[in-house]
Amino acid sequence: MRSTFGSIETTLRGLRAQQLALDTTGHNISNANTPGYSRQTADMAATDPYAVPTMNRYQIAGQIGTGVTVTQIRRMRDQFVDRRTQYENSALGYWDTKQRNFSHLEVTLAEPADLETGSSIGYHLNDFWSALQQLGNANRPDNIAVRSVVREKANNLCDSIRGTYRQLTTLQTDISAEIAVKIGRINSLADQIAGLNAEIAKITAVGDNPNDLLDQREVLVGELSTLTAISIQSDELNRYSISISGMLLVAGDTSYHMDVQDDGSVVWAHNGIDVYFTNGEIRGLMEMRDVEVQHYIDSLHQFTETLILEFNAQHRAGYGLAPGSTDISFFQGTDASDITLDAAILDPVNGLNNIAASLTGEVGNGENALLLAGLIKEAPLIDGTTTLSDFYDSLIAKLGVDAEKAKVTYANQKTLVGHLKNMQESVAGVSLDEEMANLIKFQNAYNAAARMMTAIDEVLDKLINGTGVVGR
């Protein structure tokens, strides 16, 4: 038979359930602006009714309800969207890195050339060509002022080539330093995720939902996914196993670190095997350092080596103004790192006279100056098909195409990731309007349960104190 005081327990369950729902709503409101927080709900279900059907129970109209209980505090999250976002985050990190460093490359190469400051190699190369043309066509190749302009423009070109080379190698060094910082961050994230795995497993093992810890871990995993492409597996205790290209980074409460070698490669600290990054910021940085920037360094070397070799050969075949001023090199150095004017051209006394403008040895002859100018824009010196000017222009054109592709792809990827985050926000985000409505609903339910408790108290007071004669 049902207890006389059963209604008190039924109402008490209602008070507790509504109080827990109010607490959950308050928690949501408090974290409305917390990054990575997922909305939580108190799932309610009716408790087992009275009485359990038996052959000898009292016949009543039906089972009597015994109240309500909160079955779980549920974290609102779409795991599919989470995994898709993490995958696309890796691509976003990759293209973000590429477009940032391509922009840096454009600044380094100063293209398109600044018409006022003339800081690019292309600008100085064109100036040098114009000065040679003027020297050859001036009908006065012996004019010291014109020769001075040629030397000045040539010296500016050398300075620009060396400066650009230094900036490119500095960019490589900076990228290597950034990779080292990012690898350190990956190691730190792995440690934190492993620690959260341990805490999550303890709470899950006793049947509770560690919702806030799950949110904290998801924020860390999201950051990790921008650094590199990852694969995630979850076990029965909600612990994550995270791998990079098949090698474990996190396994339960254990994390594995990476080391950056002196040559810039990245290996697993515990076995020395190279880490293979397929996407993310690390992959983008490595490609920029080892492929893209190195391509421009190698191309600049090729351009400079050809300029030095071919220009010197033609210059040695000409004659300057001073007696015996032939077989003199114009440039010295081996590549873009050390190109400069030959000491004979830089000589403060006879340097200008040593510029071999004449092909015949006659003072008024400027044919060699024109041939020297032709080496820049007419002679197919590189691979037998491309002039020095066209080679450099094609290099800059490639940079423009690659930079534009990176910018457009990054913008598209950012839009896609933004769409996925909006999808997740529609599920996990806290709506203050909705929470205020829930607050009113649960508050009124609590008040009603409290009134019910008062009514039961009055009934029991009448039953106990207002009936019978025992004790009078």
**Residue range 134-178, pLDDT digits in tens:** 998 866 778 888 999 999 999 999 999 999 999 999 999 999 999
d(Cα 69, Cα 380) in Å, to the nearest integer? Answer: 86
d(Cα 422, Cα 85) in Å, to the nearest integer? Answer: 11
- Selection from 109, 147, 463, 89 nearest residue 296 by Cα: 109
> What does pTM read for this prediction?
0.87
Tokens representing residue 222 in the block: 């999201």
Reported as a single tens digit per residue, the pLDDT across 320-356 is: 887 777 889 999 999 999 999 999 999 988 889 999 9
In the predicted model, what is the mean pLDDT of the chain? Answer: 90
Tokens representing residue 339 in the block: 């190109």
pLDDT band with cut points at 50, 70 and 90 for residue 38: very high
**Residue 66's pLDDT is what?**
86
Q: Give the neighbor-by-neighbor strand order of the sheet with 247-251.
A: 231-234, 240-244, 247-251, 254-255
**Contacts by 419-424, CB closer than 8 A, 24 or more apart:** 420/81, 420/84, 420/85, 420/88, 421/85, 423/78, 423/81, 424/77, 424/78, 424/81, 424/82, 424/85
**Arithmetic mean of pLDDT, 415-422:** 94
d(Cα 366, Cα 124) in Å, to the nearest integer? Answer: 22
- Selection from 73, 90, 288 nearest residue 179 by Cα: 288
Tell me the DSSP string of 140-177: -TT-HHHHHHHHHHHHHHHHHHHHHHHHHHHHHHHHHH
Residue 85 near residue 222 (C-beta atoms within 8 A)? yes
Which sequence spans correspond to the domains of the chain?
Answer: 6-76+430-465, 100-181+287-416
**Residue 364's pLDDT is what?**
77
**Residue 437's pLDDT is what?**
96
- Selection from 390, 387, 425 nearest residue 35 by Cα: 425
**Residue 5's pLDDT is what?**
77
Q: Is the per-residue pLDDT at 2 higher than 70? A: no
pLDDT band with cut points at 50, 70 and 90 for residue 85: very high
- Selection from 95, 88, 149, 148 nearest residue 124 by Cα: 149
Q: Is the per-residue pLDDT at 254 higher than 50? A: yes
- Selection from 182, 103, 33, 90 nearest residue 416 by Cα: 90
d(Cα 90, Cα 92) in Å, to the nearest integer? Answer: 5
**Residue 40's pLDDT is what?**
94
How many Cβ atoms are within 10 Å of 299's Cβ, its own excluded? Answer: 17
**Arithmetic mean of pLDDT, 391-417:** 94
From residue 76, give the alpha-carbon distance in Å to each of 26, 27, 285, 429, 436: 16, 14, 36, 8, 18
